[in-house]
Structure 1
Amino acid sequence: MTAFALAMPVTLEDQFAFDAAQHGHEIVLRTVSAPELASRIAGAHADVALVAAEARYLTDRLIASCDQAGVRLIAVASSEREQRYASDLGLFDIVDAAAGWRALDALLAQSPWDAQPPVRERAALGQVIAVWGPGGAPGRTSIAISIAAELAALGYRVALADVDTHGASVAPALGMLDEAPGFAAACRLAGTETLTTEELDRIGQRYESPVGSFWVLTGIGRPSRWPELSSERVGTTIAQCRQWVDYTVLDTSSSLENDEEITSDLFAPRRNAAAVTAVRAADHVIAVGSADPVGLSRFLRAHVDLLETVTTRSVSVVMNKIRVSASGMNPHGQVTQTLSRFGGIEHPILVPHDLSGFDGAVLSGKTLVDAAPRSSARAAIRDLVMSRLVPEEHEPAPQKSLFGRMLARG
C-alpha cells in the first residue's frame, strides 16, 4: 500500500482519489495549493506527493520540501504546456492526466532514480503568434503588445518581436531604445549560424512589470535596413525563438505582396519577405482590422490575401476601435454582420475603442495591462488570449472534492 498526498483541482482529485482507493492505496493528505503541501508534507507520513503540473500546485519550494522529507513527487499534466512547466522545474516524474491511473501505476513500478525525462523535440515546444493587419493603422502593434502582456501575466515565458519592415514601432511604444534593433541583430546571427538562446537573452530587452515581464526584440529604426531581414534569416530566428520561450508574438507589417520578385533574379531581396515568413511560420495568426467603414473595406480585401498566405487554420479576426461614432447604433452588431455577409467571418473578437487607455499606455511607455488594467479594451484582448490562444484556463480556487466529502462523512 502506498500513502499519497494530493494537491490538485477538484476534478483530478476525484479521479485519482477514487482510483487510489480502488487499488488499495491510502490518501493521507489533501491540500489546495503547493505552499500548503510544502508546509505539511514532512509530517504527513506520505510516500508519494501527487500534484497537478500548474503553478498553483507545483513550485520549486514544494520540490525541495519533498526532497527533504524523502517523499517522491509526481506531477500530473493535462496539457503540453503543463508538461513543459514541470520539466522546466527539473521534475522527471510526470504522467499524462488522460492516461489516468495506468500511467501512474507504471511509473510507481519504477525506481525514482530510473525515471527519464519525457523525450520531446525542443524546437517544437514554443508557440508563434503573428499579429497582422492591413494598412491604415488598425492597431497591430497595440494588439501585439497587449497579447504579449496578457500571456506574460499568465506566467508564460514570452518574447515580443518587431518584424515590421515598413514602420517598426514596438520600441517607442514601450519606451525602449532601438539604436541596436534586437530582431535585426538576431537575424544577423542567424545568417552566420551563431544564433542561440543565450544570444537571444543577450540581445533582447526586458520589459519589466509586476504583473508579468517579457522579452522584446526591437525592430529596425530605419525602413532602409529592411534587407537585413531576409526570409531565410527571419525563419531561422523564429525557429530559435521556439526553443527560447513559450510564446513568441510577432508584430508584422501589412503588405504580403511579393512585389520585389522578378523572373530574372529569383534570389533578389524582398521587402515583404519578413511579414510573409512570419505569417507562414505562425501557429496562430491574429488578423486585426479597424471597425469603421474604411477600415472594414480594407480588411475584407486584404483578408483574402492573408488566407492565401497562411499555413495554419488558427486565424482569429480582431476588430479594433469599436465605437458608435464610426459604426452607428449597435456597432457590435453592425461590424459582426458586415464581416459575416461580405467575408464569411464568424465570431470575431471585438475590441472597444479606449483612446484614453491606449494613450496613457503610450505616454507612460507601458502596456495596457499596467497602464489601464480595468480598460474595456484590455478585457476584450484578455478574452482573446484565454479563449483562442491558451484554452487551458487556470483552475479557480478548488473546493473540497465530492469524493473527499463522502469519505469524511463515512
Structure 2
Amino acid sequence: MTQVLLAVDFEFDLILFELLSEVDDVTIVARPADDVELLALCRTGSADVVIVGQYFPGLDAQVISAIHAAGTAVLGFGNDTAALESLGIVSSVPSSADAETVAQAIDDTRDSTVIPPRPLAPPGSLKGQGHIVTVWGTGSSPGRTLTAVNLGDHGARQGHRSVVVDADTVAAMVATTLGLTEESAHLANLCRLEMEKTPPLDISAVPHAAVRDDFHAVTGLTRPDRWPEVRASVLTAVLSRLAKMFDLVVVDVADRVDPDDDFADPFYDRHCATRAALEVADTVLVLAAGDPIGLQRLVKLLGTERVESLGSKMRIGITKVRSGAVGHPAEVRIREVLARFVRRDPDFIFSDDRATADAAMLSGHTLHEENPKSVLSQEIAAAVTELLPARKRPRKSGAGRAAKSL
C-alpha cells in the first residue's frame, strides 16, 4: 500500500482525491494546507509520495529539496512541466490523466526515489563563492547597522565587490545610515522575484542602490508591518544568490531571533529572517556594547543554545568601548569580564568614536568618507582583513557616490 500526501492547487484537490479513491493500493493520508504542514508530515515519515501542484501555498525549490531530504518521493501534477521542473520536480502527470496513469506514475516515482546518504562533513563554500557575514548582537543598540555598513564599505576599499543587505524586519536603517532617499524596499522586491521563479541572474538586474561602483546596498522594508514579505527560505535563497555575484555580502539583522509569541508558528514569525541569515552565514559577528549592561547581555546571550549552534563561525565584537563605562584600561577590563564569565576573548574591539559616527550619520556618509583617520574606521578595516578568506587586489572605485537605484 502506497501512502500519499495531496499538496496540489485548490482547483485540482477534489479532482485528484476522487481519482485516487478508485485506486486500491493507494491511500491518501493527508491533504496539508501549506508548506509548513506539508514538511512536518514528510519529516515524520507519514507518506511515501507527495503529489504537488506548482501553485500550492508556500511551495518553492527549497521546500521540494527538503521533501527529498526527508526521503519522500515527489510527483508533480499539472500541465506546466517547465514550471514544475524549475522547482526540482522531475516526474509529473498532466491534470487530464486518468486514474490508471496517475497510479502508474505514483509507483514509478516511489520506486525510482533514492534517499541520499548523509554527508560525512558539512558542505563548505563553493569555489568562487562570496563570503556572507551576518551582523547580529544583543539589544541596547550596540551599533549593528553602523558596523554592517562600514564592513561593506571597507570590504570594497580592500578590493572586494561588496553589498550590504538590510534584513532587519523590526527597524530597517541601512538606507538612512547611507543617506539613501529612495522609498523602494529592495529586499522585498528580491524576495518577490525569487518566489516568482524569476530571480536576477547578474548584478545589473538586482534591485539595489549603487553607493559606488564596488559598494552596493539592498535596502530593507519601508514599514515594519511588511515583514511577511521576507520568508526564511526565500531570504536564504536570495542571500545565496547574492553571494554568487558579490565577493562580500554583509547582512544587517534585528537582535531578536525567536518568536514573540511562544505559540506562534516559528516558520512565519517576523524574526525568521534573522534565523535564516544566521544559518546561511559563513561568519556571524555578534556585537555587544562595551558597558556593564551590554556585557551582561552578551554573557547571557553566549549561554544560549542559539549561539552555541553557531559554532566556529561566530566572532565577538565589543562596540562603543570607552574607559568611562568600564574603567581604565577599557580593553583590559572587558577581556577580564569575558574571561571570567564565558572564558572567551572578544575577537574585535571597536572604539567609541561618537563624534565621527554622529557626523557620518548626519551627512549620510560612511566613517571613512567622513574621517579617513578615524580610529573606529581603521578598526573596522582591520576586522574586514581578518574576516575575509584572502585579500584581493583593489578594484578601481568610482570617484563619488552613484546616486542611482537599480
Note the C-alpha offset of 1:303: 2.8
Letter in 1 for 2:239: I
Q: TM-score, normalised by structure 2?
A: 0.62
Aligned to 1:249: 250
Distance 2:266 2:351 in 1: 44
Distance 1:253 1:228 in 2: 16
Aligned 1:3-402 pairs, distance under 5 A: 125-198=129-202, 201-208=205-212, 213-260=214-261, 262=263, 269-305=268-304, 307-308=306-307, 310-311=309-310, 313-392=312-391
Paired residue secondary structure (1:216): strand
CA contact (8 A) 1:324 1:331 kept: yes
CA contact (8 A) 2:356 2:370 kept: yes
Could you report, residue by residue, the CA deviation over 1:340-397 in whole angstroms, capped at 9, with x for unpaired residues? 11122224311111011111111111111111110111111111111232454779xx
Paired residue secondary structure (2:133): strand
Q: TM-score, normalised by structure 1?
A: 0.62
Note the C-alpha offset of 1:262: 3.7
Letter in 1 for 2:256: S
Distance 1:306 1:139 in 2: 24
Aligned to 1:408: none
Letter in 1 for 2:171: G
Q: 1:372 to 1:201 in 2, by over 3 A?
A: farther
Distance 2:297 2:369 in 1: 31
CA contact (8 A) 1:147 1:385 kept: yes
Q: 1:303 to 1:200 in 2, by over 3 A?
A: farther
Letter in 2 for 1:135: G
Paired residue secondary structure (2:250): strand
Could you report, residue by residue, the CA deviation over 1:276-329 in whole angstroms, capped at 9, with x for unpaired residues? 100110001111110000111112212333754754512111100111111111
Letter in 2 for 1:244: M
CA contact (8 A) 2:159 2:391 kept: no
Aligned to 2:34: none
Note the C-alpha offset of 1:190: 1.1
CA contact (8 A) 1:280 1:312 kept: no
Q: Which runs of 4+ in 1 moved over 6 A?
A: 120-124
CA contact (8 A) 2:136 2:287 kept: yes
What 5-or-longer segments of structure 2 have no aligned partner? 1-123, 395-406
Distance 1:352 1:330 in 2: 12
Identity of aligned residues (%): 27
Paired residue secondary structure (1:318): strand
Could you report, residue by residue, the CA deviation over 1:67-118 in whole angstroms, capped at 9, with x for unpaired residues? xxxxxxxxxxxxxxxxxxxxxxxxxxxxxxxxxxxxxxxxxxxxxxxxxxxx
Higher deviation after alignment, 298-307 or 239-248: 298-307
Letter in 2 for 1:240: R
Note the C-alpha offset of 1:266: 6.6
Paired residue secondary structure (1:244): coil
Paired residue secondary structure (1:166): coil
